Amino acid sequence: MIYSLVETADFYDPDNWIATCKSNSNVAGTQLREAHHHLGFELAKTFWSELHCGVVVCFMRGGLPFSLGIADKLDCPILFYDDKNSPDFFERNADQLCGRRVILVDSVINSGKSMLKAVEKLKGISSDIKIATNVLCYKAIERFNSLETFTVRVSGNSFEGSNVKEQCGNKGPDTGDRLFKTQGFNYL
Identify the pLDDT of residue 187: 47
Q: Which domains does the chain have, with CATH numbers?
A: 2-180 (3.40.50.2020)
102, β-bridge pairs: 55, 129
CB-CB contact of 39 with 14 (8 Å): no
Residue 160 identity: E
Identify the pLDDT of residue 175: 80
Identify the pLDDT of residue 94: 97
Hey, CA dihedral for 135, 120, 58, 130, is it positive or negative?
A: positive
Residue 17 identity: W
Average of per-residue pLDDT across 109-136: 94
Query: For residue 111, which of 152, 159, 71, 52 has the smallest C-alpha distance?
Result: 159
77-91, 93-107, 152-166 — which is least confidently predicted?
152-166
pLDDT band at 15 (very low <50, low <70, confident <90, very high): confident
Q: How far apart are CA 38 and CA 73, in angstroms?
A: 10
Q: How far apart are CA 27 and CA 36, in angstroms?
A: 12
E strand map for the chain: 2-4, 54-59, 78-81, 101-109, 128-137, 148-155, 160-162, 171-173
Q: Is the pLDDT of residue 49 over 50?
A: yes
CB atoms within 10 A of CB 101: 20
Q: How far apart are CA 3 and CA 160, in angstroms?
A: 24
pLDDT digits (tens, 9 = 90+) for 123-145: 999 999 999 999 999 999 999 99
Identify the pLDDT of residue 188: 44
Identify the pLDDT of residue 155: 86
Q: How far apart are CA 180 and CA 161, in angstroms?
A: 14
